[in-house]
Each structure stands twice: as structure tokens, then as C-alpha cells.
Amino acid sequence: MDTYQKKIVTALIIATFLAAIEVTVISTAMPVIARDLGGLDLISWVFAIYLLTYAVMTPIFGKLADLFGRKKIFITGAALFLTGSALCGLSQSMEQLIMFRAVQGVGAGALMPMTFTIVGDVFTYEKRAKAQAVIGSIWGIAGIFGPLAGGFFVDFLTWHWIFYINIPFGLLAMYLIGKNLEEKIEKRKRSIDYGGAVTFIIGTGALLYALLSGGNDIAWNDEAMFYLFGTAFVFLSLFVVIQLNAPDPMIPFRLFKNRYLLIANICGLLMGGILIGLTAYLPLWVQGVLLLAATSSGLTLIPMSLGWPLGAYLSGQFIVRLGTKSISLAGVSLIALGTLALTFITSGTPNVLLIIIMFFVGLGFGLAMTVFTVIVQSSVTWDNRGTAASTNAFLRTLGQTLGITVLGAILNQHIGGQTNNGTHVEPDILAAGLQSVFMILFILALLCVIITSLLPQKQPEFAEKSASKEAL
């Protein structure tokens, strides 16, 4: 890495850490925040609204980056994220906090895809995986550091600091990118797909709102649910029509003719569902079936945060020698084996075995996710890279949303009506429900293995080109 690349990577590491730690750090502080602000029943929306705005805005910012450049979109996203953080820290009610978290999510919708895109711009193919491995390892660090930092701020300072601490680091990232990132935007008439943007926001927003609310805030058979799904269907249909006819569409469907992108995107969608399923329901097994403390459930997930950066590092070291197909196939195979092992666990399974399983699952995610990101970066030219990266990021987030919805519905089929005053489920009933959840996770992982096996043996078309030279 030369000096220029080191400065860029430093900025991207900071931005990634801010976005990655946001969910984990707030999870520890939420009970105190809810007690301070009131509105305990609104806790889920503090997380959901961030996911909703992040998912909807990701493809839009990706397209804007291809039109106006990565630097402007990165700085805009960081500014929105930091503004949202500052406002969250000033919140006087849960309603205000939810609204300001939406602003944070909009900013994150620019930060994360720009991180992936800029790596593809600045590094040649041989170095992309290594750079991505360094940045990807930050997710593992955030997974460990976030809960500890949240607990520290709550216990020794105040919950407001979990939002304020973002500001100096975010400003540093903005400065480094603004001062150092070199890009030359082609002088051409820009055709902005306003119709696509509006229909996409309304259609996707309605769909995700329905999925996040269904069975909780709104019954599945409620009239409002039919209106939401109807709105989603109408506007997403309009979106598809607009994309097929727009001269410069927000999401060029022609990109999906690229076999590499198609496979990476489908696997991203499936792996998003697997990831949210593991992080949401394995702690429930530890606490509700094994009857261990919450600390033990946290320790069960930490090995995944350790295995992930190790897998990312290994993929960066061997991607040129072994190729994208071999490494990604090894990664999804580890995930499949890990989820298969979870289908055999019982109430007598020691927690240490779960810890070992989660380490190898994390290793698999590190191998596969890193390679799929590099595939997306290396399968298109510079002027489509922002769109390709943001579409992939959106599908991962959509996979998490769909995953938590479907898996929650499956679990509720087992435990519905079996709760004691809505607070307790018998361990054997809960175990049966979670076994069904783990089986679905295994099926998703097995689909990933099958789809990944369809990757071509040769490297992506633009792998050998330095995107920074394309842009300059």
C-alpha cells in the first residue's frame, strides 16, 4: 500500500467502524435509554427505522456516486450520519430518537456502499481483497467492542455519548477523503432517474415497513397490511417499468446479465438472512433453552466476530492464487456445515460446542463475504461500480429484513399461545421452534453452496484493471 492508499483506507476504516458499531453499541444502552425517555414499546423501531432508511437509500446513493463521484456522496453521507448522531444525542423522547435514527440510516446508506466502491476504485484486483479484508475485519472488532463501549458509556458517563463519540471520528474520515481521494468525473450530460428514485422509495419503504410491522404492530390479516403490500406492488411494478425505459436508470437491470454479479447478489441476499437468523436466535437458545445468563449468549456470538476477520484475511492472501470460486465456495460450505450442526443441538449440548460452531461460521462469512464484495467491484467498469456495490449492499440488508420476518413467523408458529403471561416459554417448546429456524438457515446456506458452485473458474472481466486509472 502506498501513502495515498493508506490515507484512503484509514478514512474507510473509520467510516466502516462508525456504521458497524452503531447497532451493537446502542443495543447495550437501549434499556437505559428507554427508561430515561419512556416508550419501552418503541424500542424495536429504534433499530428498525435505521435498517429501513439504510436499505432504501443505498441504491440511490450508489447511482448518484456514478453520476457525481464518490467523494461528494461519501462526504454527504458522512455529514448526514453525523447530523443524525448529534440529534440522537439531543433526543428528549423516543419518538424524536426514532426520527433522528432515520437520518442516521440515510447517511449510512451512502457510507457503506461508498466504502466498497472506493476500494474498487483505488486498488488493483490483486490488492482489493487484501484491502477489503482489512476493512471487513472492522465488523468483527465492532461486534466485540460495541457492547463493551455501550456499557461503559452508560455506566460511567451517559447514554448520550454513544452518539456524540461518532462526531470527531466522522469529521476525520470526511477530511481524509475530501483532501486525498483523487477522481476525475467525466464531463457529460447527466440524466437523473427521478421517477425511479421516487417509486423505489415508496415501494420499498412500504414493503419493508409491512415486513417489519407484520405480526407485531400490525396483524398480517389487518386491512392496513393489505394496503401496504398493495402500495409496494404498484410502486415497485412502476419502478421496474421505469428502469426498463429510462436512459440512465437507477438500477440497470442489464447488470444482472453479468453472471458474476447475479451470483454475488443472490448469495448476498441469502447470507443476509442467515446472518440475522444466527445473531437473533442463537442467543435466544442459550438463554431460553440452556437457561444460561445473557453474558453467556454474548460470548457465544463473539467467536463469529473473531472468525470473520480471520476469514477475510485469508481470502485476501489467497484470492489471486486460488481464485474467487474456490475461496467463496469454501466459505459458504463452512456456513452450511455450521448451520447443519446447529440442527442437531439439544438442551444437553454444552455451550462450548456452540462457540466452536460459531467460530467456523464466522470464518465462512469472512471468506465468502470478502470474495463476493471483490467480485462485485471487479465485474463492472468504473461508471457502474457505485451502482453495482450499492445494489449488492441493499440486497444484503433486504435479506436480513426478509430473514428476520420469515424466521420470526416460523418460530411464532411453535410458541404462539404457549407463553406464560407473554414473558416465558417452556424450554422444550422453544427448542422445537428454534430447531425449525436452524433448519431453514441450513437450507439457505445449502442454496448458497449450490449457487456459488455456478461461478465461472476464471476471474471477473475487469479484475486486472486498476479502477483508479479508469477514473483518472
Amino acid letter, 159: W
Alpha helical stretches, state H, 69-124: 70-89, 94-122
Give pLDDT, residue 282: 81
Lowest mean pLDDT among 41-50, 230-239, 359-368, 391-400: 41-50
Helix (H, G, I), strand (E, B) or coil at 156: helix
Question: For the segment 407-463, what is each residue's pLDDT rounded down to a tens digit?
Answer: 777 777 776 555 444 445 677 888 888 899 899 999 999 999 999 999 887 765 554
> Residue 335 above 90 pLDDT?
yes
> Residue 466 above 50 pLDDT?
no
Of these ranges, 7-11, 292-296, 326-330, the one predicted with the greatest mean pLDDT is 326-330
Lowest mean pLDDT among 8-12, 248-252, 419-423: 419-423
Average pLDDT value for residue range 245-251: 74
Amino acid letter, 168: P
Q: How far is CA 115 from the centre of its chain?
A: 13
Domains assigned to the chain: 1-180 (1.20.1250.20), 194-251 (no CATH), 253-472 (1.20.1250.20)
How wide is the angle at C-alpha 17 spanned by C-alphas 41 and 333, nearest 5°?
90
Question: For the segment 17-44, what is each residue's pLDDT rounded down to a tens digit?
Answer: 777 676 666 766 666 777 777 765 566 6
Lowest mean pLDDT among 33-37, 110-114, 151-155, 372-376: 151-155
Site of grid cell 477530511: 175
> CA–CA separation, 393 vs 426, rounded Å?
38
> CA–CA separation, 386 vs 74, rounded Å?
11
Between 356 and 186, the more confident residue is 356
DSSP for 287-345, please give it: HHTS---HHHHHHHHHHHHHHHHHHHHHHHHHHHHH-HHHHHHHHHHHHHHHHHHHTT-
Give the global pTM.
0.70
Average pLDDT value for residue range 248-260: 75
Give pLDDT, residue 128: 64
> Residue 330 above 90 pLDDT?
yes
Residue count of the chain, please give it: 472
Cβ proximity of 415 and 88 under 8 Å: no
Helix (H, G, I), strand (E, B) or coil at 348: coil
Beta bridge partners, 214, equal: 218
Cell numbers standing for residue 136: 471487513
Q: Which residues contact 301 (CB under 8 A, 6 or more apart)?
A: 143, 278, 279, 282, 283, 358
Give pLDDT, residue 30: 67
Question: For the segment 264-278, what is each residue's pLDDT rounded down to a tens digit?
Answer: 889 988 998 898 788
Cβ proximity of 105 and 52 under 8 Å: yes
Give pLDDT, residue 428: 80
Give pLDDT, residue 356: 92
> CA–CA separation, 66 vs 158, rounded Å?
41
% of the chain at pLDDT higher than 90: 12
Chain-wide mean pLDDT for the chain? Answer: 77
> Residue 372 above 60 pLDDT?
yes
Question: For the segment 131-154, what is each residue's pLDDT rounded down to a tens digit?
Answer: 766 666 676 666 666 666 666 776
Between 293 and 181, the more confident residue is 181
Give pLDDT, residue 421: 43
User: What is the four-CA torsion angle of 345, 349, 350, 355, rounded to 10 degrees?
Assistant: 0
> CA–CA separation, 195 vs 206, rounded Å?
17
Give pLDDT, residue 63: 72
Average pLDDT value for residue range 87-112: 86
Question: For the segment 146-180, what is each residue's pLDDT rounded down to a tens digit?
Answer: 666 666 776 677 788 888 877 888 888 888 777 77
Cβ proximity of 387 and 252 under 8 Å: yes
% of the chain at pLDDT higher than 70: 76
Q: How far is CA 177 from the centre of its chain?
A: 22
Residue 92 phi/psi, 5° resolution? -110, 0
